[in-house]
Amino acid sequence: MEKDCLFCKIASGQTPTEILFEDDQLVVFKDINPAAPVHLLIVPKKHIRSINDIAEADLPIIGQMHWVAREMARQHGVSSSGYRLFTNVEKGGGQLIFHLHMHLIGGWK
């Protein structure tokens, strides 16, 4: 838990947010400023700043993020239509919140 980190606060329940999925490693919630009809954020509970900061010990979390993304896509009806998964890395990559997260967007007509 990193002081003043919004996603740490959401993941720990300190900032009330509708949590769509939770397990021991991750939470999933809707992006507050959706870029698509379905826009979810898949967020590890552990504070990792960005992809640059992943340690080898974190690899199971990265796998779990994809596994859960696949399940969220199914639950939100975009599996067969298709969707994008992406992670912005540091300022030049468009990262605004410096707590690792994966975007799932889809649902366009």
The two tokens of residue 104 are: 């799932």
Contact flag: residue 31 with ligand AMP (CB under 6 A)? yes
* Nearer to ligand AMP among residue 57 and residue 76 (C-beta): 76
Given 39, 76, 101, 103, which residue is catalytic? 101
DSSP code of 42?
A: E
103 a catalytic residue: no
Q: Which is nearer to ligand AMP, 10 or 78 (CB)?
A: 10
If one asks whether residue 99 binds Zn ion (CB under 5 A), the answer comes out as yes
Distance CA(10)–CA(8), nearest Å, equals 6
* Smallest separation, CB 52 to ligand AMP (Å): 14
Residues 6+ apart with CB under 8 A from 83: 38, 73, 104, 105, 106, 107
